[in-house]
Chains A and B, each alone.
Chain A
Amino acid sequence: MSLKYQSQKIAEYFYTFAVVLFLVQVVVGIIAALQFIWPGFFILNFNTVRTLHINAMVVWLLVGMMGATYYVVPEESETELWGLPLAKFQFWATVVAVTAVILGYIWMGINPQANSPIMGMTPLNEGREYIEAPRWADALIVVSVLLFLFVNFMTMLKTKKWTGIQGTLLGGLLVLALMYLPGMFYTKSMVKDQFWWWWVVHLWVEGAWEVIAGALLAFMLMKVVGAKREVVEKWMYIEVGFVMFTGILGTGHHYYWIGTPSYWLWVGGIFSSLEPVPLLFMVWDAFRTTRDARNVENRAGLYYTVAHAIFNFVGAGLWGVIHTLPQINKWTHGTQITTAHGHLAFYGAYVLLVLSMIYITLPAIRGVKAFNASRAFQSFWWMTISMVFIVLTITGAGMVQVYMERLMGLDYVAVKANYNLWFWVLRAIFGVGFLIGVGIFVVDFFKLGKEPAPAVAAVSDR
């Protein structure tokens, strides 16, 4: 694959920012893990460290998807990007806004009084998980996303080529932008606060983002193994369709215990149990399409793509469905079981998605045909094995917690400090393994295509 349009190179800006934030996220994650063992381990308290961890994650995944979109849209529309300077402006504005928000969190972490409300709004940290960004930053985020959507929409309009992939991608991004809005107003009731909060969180990861993942999966299958558009797009529609049919009402699995009427136990239980089905379609789709592939140039890309489909199903689908029925969720709700699922789902569904897109598009951007994929494989295994063990460890901690605290009635602190202590130690150790994997990936990202001709040509042994 080689680059067709120069403006596609803008993707690399976004990838670079994403990769740097990925590294930050994981370093900070290890600090958070150590604070479970020594709460006073770091200058910043756990809440600030955790906020940095999950916000860095959300931002780098979004920025990565933006980069991928800027690459895909010109290619699908068969034209240069409309308004490249605007896209560059959008990039730098995003970097500045994100940096300002991060500095605000740190400031608030050092001096909580700095977050005292001004005109009824907390200026540095909204104090709501995942959407901690203060209201002024929400506005900037909306502007950035609108600019981004505008540039891509105008590009498509230029040639009026509406391929299924770009239509679906744009649709997913539009829902993503719209679903940010329910998190942008204040309610006096904590129940309503959480009700609308889940619109953002759940309808993002189990709605809009999965639609984007479906579209990008279709694109990657075409690029890596040369799959036929007709077939790939049809399956894409079916996959993302089922994501929406199950995922929208599946939001109910968060409305069991927050003060909402009990009919949500039925609605949420039934629809969310079906959510793994479309994810299984995606796995099947990836296998069927790549099974007979010959002469794959980009083996790293293929590898990551298939792994993304598999771990999306395992992390989101399997680790989600085990605690989604109300009868089970009653006991596991708000325990470490949730953390275990959150990690494997985000890793499988979105970390691997963005990394696959990077491995598939970066060689073209850097102007190389073949590259040495050995670092890509190494980092894959370091990250994946470590993540699987982190998740098993935390699932174990969750099972102990559910048994001791929820069934036997032991105190939360006793369980955390005594019975689960070794699980925290293990998580920190596997966390270092994950960091090694990320380190290898970061090196690979900066070196890919910049080294002298690959020692082992990736194509030669096939």
Chain B
Amino acid sequence: MTNKAARNLFIFGSLFFFAIFLGLTYDTMGKLDKRAPEITEQVNAGKMVWHKYDCIGCHTIFGNGSYFAPDLTKTTVNKPKGYLKQFLMDPKSANPNASMPKLGIKPDEADNIITFLEWTSKVDTNNWPPKPILATAGGVAGRELTEGQRLYQSLGCSACHTINGIGGTTGPDLTTVGAKRDRVWLAGHFKEPKAFVPESPMPKVEAPDADIEKLTDYMLSLK
């Protein structure tokens, strides 16, 4: 091959692939809005707050960004809004172990950002992030779950609490909570957390009394 032929291969080959790339980009742009919910003014306002506080400097979104803090694409799926708002405005008030700094986010900014994160959670990301293989494998080591354990799962408690190392780190570890609290405290706290722990960011447990009873039994068994 002569130098000139090699040069032409480089130039025209690059243009060729760039043209294909442009074509795909055009096609993609036409499809994106159908893969995501509508962008309201509030979603956009939330996105501006995201940029203003440089959240990407610690977090990832859609898996891109920094790896210092959890990915936020699907946060609103597991965490209730009230808790998130309290956390955003003052992380340590919601979780004493939090290392996210208090950035000075105002109440309306927090609302907007939560709306923005609700939007990202509904974008069709080709099933990313994947469901953990081992955690979704069902029951623990083949044992039948008790009623209380099943409620614990279905009510989403593990988004905030850990038991034996599994679960979220937002709220306190519950591995030995049965040794610490009694029945009256637990059941009352479920119905009205703030009555027992002022400023508690834990959401009320919205369930019939019978279920609260079973959940309390389960908690008491954790020693």
A residues in contact (CB < 8 Å) with B: 35-36, 39-40, 45-48, 50-51, 108, 112-113, 115-117, 120, 122, 125-129, 132, 164, 167-168, 188-195, 197, 230, 233-234, 237-238, 240-241, 244-245, 248-249, 251-252, 254-265, 267, 330-331, 333-336, 338-339, 405-414, 417
Contact = CB atoms under 8 A, between A and B. Distances in A.
B35 A259 contact: yes
Interface of B: 1-3, 6-7, 9-10, 13-14, 17-18, 20-21, 24-25, 27-29, 31-33, 35-36, 39, 43-44, 47-48, 50-58, 60-71, 99, 101, 103-104, 116, 119-120, 123-126, 128-130, 132-136, 162, 165-169
30 contacts: A35-B68, A48-B54, A50-B58, A112-B54, A113-B104, A116-B52, A128-B51, A189-B32, A190-B119, A190-B120, A191-B123, A237-B9, A240-B10, A241-B10, A244-B10, A245-B17, A248-B21, A254-B64, A257-B129, A259-B36, A260-B32, A261-B27, A263-B24, A338-B67, A406-B130, A407-B133, A408-B132, A408-B135, A412-B69, A414-B169
A330 B130 contact: yes
Contacts of A414: 162, 165, 169
A256 B128 contact: yes
A323 to B, nearest CB: 12
A40 B119 CA distance: 31
A230 B162 CA distance: 66
B7 to A, nearest CB: 5
Contact of A112 (B13, B58, B103, B136): B103
A118 B54 CA distance: 16
B1 A411 contact: no
A259 B61 CA distance: 11
Contacts of B39: 188-189
Q: Which of B2, B56, B58, B101 has the most CB of A within 10 A?
A: B56
B171 to A, nearest CB: 11
A419 B217 CA distance: 32
A117 B157 CA distance: 38
A45 B51 CA distance: 16
B70 A412 contact: yes
Contact of B6 (A194, A237, A245): A237
A129 B66 contact: yes
A409 B125 contact: no
A108 B9 CA distance: 48
Contacts of B32: 189, 191-192, 195, 259-260
Nearest to B16: A245
A455 to B, nearest CB: 44
B132 to A, nearest CB: 3
A-B pairs with lowest CB-CB distance, top 5: A47-B57, A409-B135, A409-B132, A334-B63, A127-B51
A258 B54 contact: no
Given A127-B54, A414-B169, 19 more contacts: A36-B68, A46-B68, A48-B54, A50-B66, A51-B57, A115-B52, A127-B53, A132-B57, A189-B32, A190-B116, A195-B32, A244-B14, A248-B20, A249-B21, A252-B24, A334-B63, A408-B134, A412-B69, A417-B169
Contact of A241 (B14, B31, B58, B104): B14
